[in-house]
Amino acid sequence: MDRNLTILTTESRHERTMNIDAENTADILRIMNEEDQKVAVAVNAVLPDIEATVEYVVQSLKAGGRLIYIGAGTSGRLGVLDAVECPPTFSTHPSAVQGIMAGGAGAFTKAAEGAEDSEEGGVQDLQRIELTSADTVIGIAASGRTPYVIGALRYAKSIGAKAIALSCNENAAISQVADRAIEVIVGPEILTGSTRLKSATAHKMILNMISTASMIKLGKAYGNLMVDVNVSNYKLKERAVGIIEKVTAAPYEEAKKALEEANNEVKTAIVMIKTQTTVEEARTLLEKNDGYVRKAIERSK
């Protein structure tokens, strides 16, 4: 083992779980649950860094740039998970939020652990998608020292893209090559070094916060409703009609008809009903107000 690895919080032995192999099932689960409750507290401590990251992401997406998650192993998979949910939830273009893994797409289902050791690999993967200065790159590594992520963040920063480091160790190596660092300290894992546990849970929470808050700031929500949901199947169409009903108080059939006239654009249907306008007029109102439903309705009066 790399001797530098042993001093990391994520590699430290948890005093409380030294004899966990001798515990009964109920106690193992109780210990895990109690440790998991510490994750939200740790995330709370880094909210200012998450806020700054959201602002970077919003700036990038408004300017036509992209949000790129990049990592290896569990960290990379978490980025992919968050990225692939953005198009159905927020109707973003598939290229707008991307998750890149060391070892390529195949590494999502089959571990390719050696791929994380190449700094050049991180550079090449960002070059492959033609990274630009308009993009924001979030490098994810629980240990904070993965060469693949270090290379990626260093390259991103060198071309003017925003580089964000997300780790679970203080003064992480990836933090040193980033514009902003999110170091969420969740403490030792119950199984030493198994960062698929608390570390991954913390990172999943943070990635959810970054993408969701960014999309809200971009007008993808009205109140707490997903008004830019991609209507791609029956279930989502029914959800869309329900959203329109909630916002407009229109009966089911009227809401459904408006959605169909708006070519399944929920925001357009809402503005049509709320402002008593045509499809084209509603779209124009949305365009003039940067896609924000609330602004389009208020400024139509």
Q: Which residues are catalytic?
A: 85, 116
Tokens of 207: 């990635």
Alpha helix ranges (H) inside 221-292 = 234-248, 252-261, 266-275, 279-288
Do residues 131 and 100 touch, judged by C-beta distance below 8 A?
A: no
Interhelix angle 252-261/266-275, nearest 10 degrees: 120
Residues in the chain: 301
Do residues 275 and 284 touch, judged by C-beta distance below 8 A?
A: no
**Which strand (E) or helix (H) includes residue 136?**
strand 136-140
List CB contacts of 280: < 8 A, sequence separation 6 or more: none
C-alpha pair distances (Å), 264 with each of 86, 147, 283: 17, 44, 13
- How many CA atoms lie less than 13 Å away from 37 in the CB half-sphere? 5
The CA distance from 118 to 42, in Å, is 30
In 3-state terms the chain splits into helix, strand, coil percentages (rounded to 5) of 60, 10, 35
